Amino acid sequence: MKRLLTVLLFSVIAVQAFGQAVPALLVPADSRQLAMGGVTSRNYSGTGFAALGAGIWAPRSASSTVLALDGYMIVDEKLVLGLEGRDFIDRPYNVSDKMGGVTGTFKPYDLFLSLYGAYRISGALGAGLKLTSVTSDISPKAKGSAFCGDVWVRYGGSGWSASVEGRNLGGKINYGGGDYALPALAAVCGDWSPLHGLTLAAEADYLFSGAFMAGAGAEYCFADIAYARAGFHYGDASGALPTFASLGLGARYAGAFLDAGVLLLSQTLGTSFLVTLGYGF
């Protein structure tokens, strides 16, 4: 019962204070992104890839198990088609009746399923679209679903790229007591490789709720096999993803890859981690 009240309290505070719901939509989608301060990358290489990820998010509060999958195919030289899924599963808690007797257990979760595509308009210019189905089940009597979308325009040259994006656009979710906006935002992202093996990346986001967040990260590749990553994310206390530092490692061999990222220096999110295993072809 105590855990149920805690979950509901966090949910009510988030909705009433910030006018938005499902903050898990702001969580970095993969281990590399997590390790580089949450900066989003829109670089597609090879002919495709598939990956599975698992981790723990906010172990000091929600302690959600994170399961993730992602994959794309480059259909021709200009078109990329992909799918993505993420599931945030809280630990189950006991459900009690009015007399205080335990009647069962309940496991809150947020589930996101997405289809996306990107098209190269010219040699340097590209655009993309992602459509996402959102299901959020926070208590036995509070479940909602919604749809939202991401759009972006990307421009890049040799060793650099920049993009302007809108994320989590258009959707509202209803848990049974009214509509609440999803955490929609506008973003500017960029990456630069000044030296062989070194990538620097940065991002700034403005949430339509009025909050601001930004991130920066670096990655260094050793002999095209091993990767070291670090980053920092700032989150406005008025409703963005909280501030954290991040570290990560990765390895690539014969198309297979293994990445890991962990968050540090955050009272709310510290020791959150994600591990991703995949194959690029």
For residues 32 and 68, what is the distance between their CA atoms, to the nearest angstrom?
13
Is residue 17 predicted with pLDDT exceeding 60?
Answer: no
pLDDT digits (tens, 9 = 90+) for 147-169: 999 999 999 998 999 999 999 99
Among 8-17, 42-51, 222-231, the minimum mean pLDDT is found in 8-17
pLDDT digits (tens, 9 = 90+) for 202-234: 999 999 999 999 999 999 999 999 999 999 999
Is residue 123 predicted with pLDDT exceeding 90?
Answer: no
pLDDT digits (tens, 9 = 90+) for 182-198: 999 999 999 999 999 99
* pLDDT of res. 10: 39
For residues 53 and 49, what is the distance between their CA atoms, to the nearest angstrom?
13
**Contacts made by residues 248-255, CB under 8 angstroms, sequence distance 24+:** 248/31, 248/32, 248/34, 248/35, 248/36, 249/35, 250/31, 250/32, 250/35, 250/226, 251/225, 251/226, 251/227, 252/224, 252/225, 252/227, 252/280, 253/225, 255/279, 255/280, 255/281
